Amino acid sequence: MALFRKTKYATMNARPSAQTDIASKCPSCKTIHFKEDLEKNLYVCSDCGYHFTLTAWQRIGITFDDNSFQELDARLTSLNVLEFPGYDEKLARAQENSGLVEAIITGKGRINGEPAYAGVLAPEFMLGSMGAVVGEKIARLLDKAGSEGVGAIIFSASGGARMQEGIFALFQMAKTSAALSRLNDKGVLYISVLTNPTTGGVSASFAMLGDVNIGEPGALIGFAGPRVIQQTIGQTLPEGFQRSEFLLEHGMLDMVVPRKELKATLARLLRFHQGGGRR
């Protein structure tokens, strides 16, 4: 078993961008945007409002006050405990392509001056899938937030549980949810920000359990993927099905917040719960 596989990874300051080209085409309206303009507009299409998927470091960059974010538990790496065929190679490739060690970055920083613990799922790393490292980093994050009485935010962007870790991936849903139960006992705020896409085991655990659930516009959010549902029921899905606005309408989200207003919204919510923790 590859228990002591040495991992090669870039330093934690590597901040790869999802859009490395000079220009990017909007997947929704097909308008071409220069990278510089897109960045200025927080990776939102200026023509149709489409929210591009962000890498974890891009998310941190637009959310936290300059130089305030300090990463935690950066050295946790996955093991191929099941000896699942191809998993070691897949991990190595994901690390190389993303410059990340795993599918989540956790840390503490300030949002418009308000301190917050945050976990940011990285869709650029194996589709942000949750294995034991993601689960453990979230559990540690929530534990710290709980003991310090500082609010926690998790930005989800994930296809769900990582099947290469088998039953252990499934159990991370239980582990993270149990950690939230302990955070509840301590009376500390937890905000879940659901971004495109948030599905499967991530959706059916910590992502749905926020004191406040916030969706980004147009984000795909659901337990089963649309293709699986379509195959099961044998009919086309209604327009807008499983999008943020649909979930808001059906009572699963508190609000849908455009990216430009997200930082201010988070800061306001954090301010409401300042000095959290039961005394």
Partner 1 sequence: MRDVEAQLTLLVEKIKDLKDFSQEQGIELGKEVEALEKKAAKLREELYANLDGWQKLQLARNAKRPTALDYFNLIFTDFIPLHGDRQFRDDPALVGGIAMLEGKPVTVLGHQKGRDTKENIARNYGMPHPEGYRKALRLMEQAEKFHRPIICFIDTPGAYPGLGAEERGQSEAIARNLREMASLKTPIINFVTGEGGSGGALALSIGDCLLMLENAVYSVISPEGCAAILWKDASLAKDAAAALKLKAQDLSEFGVVDEIVPEPKKGLQDNWDLGLPAIKEALVRHMDLLGHLPLETLLQRRWRRLSSQGHWQEEE
Contacts to partner 1 by CB under 8 A? 3-4, 7, 73, 75-79, 81-82, 84-85, 131-133, 135-136, 139, 161, 163, 165-175, 177-182, 184-185, 200-201, 203-209, 221-225, 228-229, 232-233, 237-238, 241-242, 250-252
Q: How far is the CB of 27 from partner 1 (least distance, A)?
A: 22
Q: Enter the DSSP assignment of 224.
A: S
Cβ neighbours, 10 Å, residue 138: 26
Q: Which residues contact 202 (CB under 8 A, 6 or more apart)?
A: 121, 128, 130, 156, 158, 159, 160, 161, 173
Residue 32 found at the interface with Zn ion (CB under 5 A): no
Tell me the C-alpha distance between 241 and 57, whole Å: 29
Residue 255 found at the interface with Zn ion (CB under 5 A): no
Measured from the CB atom, the residue of 26 and 133 that comes closer to Zn ion is 26
Q: Which does 128 bind (CB under 5 to 8 A by kind): partner 1, Zn ion, none?
A: none
- Containing 198, the helix (H) or strand (E) segment is strand 190-199
Tell me the C-alpha distance between 164 and 249, whole Å: 35
Q: What are phi and psi of 261, to 5 degrees?
A: -100, 0
Under a CB-based contact definition with an 8 Å cutoff, are residues 120 and 59 in contact?
A: yes
**Token digits of residue 136:** 């453990």
- Containing 32, the helix (H) or strand (E) segment is strand 32-34
Tell me the C-alpha distance between 247 and 232, whole Å: 21
Q: Which does 28 bind (CB under 5 to 8 A by kind): Zn ion, partner 1, none?
A: Zn ion
Describe the crossing of helices 166-185 and 132-148 by its angle, rounded to 10 degrees. 10
The mark string for 50-79 relative to Zn ion (x by CB under 5 A, - otherwise) is x-----------------------------
Q: How far is the CB of 104 from partner 1 (least distance, A)?
A: 12
Applying CB under 5 A, among 19, 24, 26, 176 the residue interacting with Zn ion is: 26
**Token digits of residue 211:** 């004191």
Q: How far is the CB of 29 from Zn ion (least distance, A)?
A: 3
Measured from the CB atom, the residue of 61 and 225 that comes closer to partner 1 is 225
The residue range among 42-50, 51-59, 105-113, 120-128 that interacts with Zn ion, by the rule CB under 5 A, is 42-50
Measured from the CB atom, the residue of 201 and 218 that comes closer to partner 1 is 201
Q: Which does 49 bind (CB under 5 to 8 A by kind): Zn ion, partner 1, none?
A: none
Applying CB under 5 A, among 23, 29, 228, 237 the residue interacting with Zn ion is: 29
Q: Which does 50 bind (CB under 5 to 8 A by kind): partner 1, Zn ion, none?
A: Zn ion
Burial of 153 (0-12, 13-18, 19+ CB in 10 A): buried
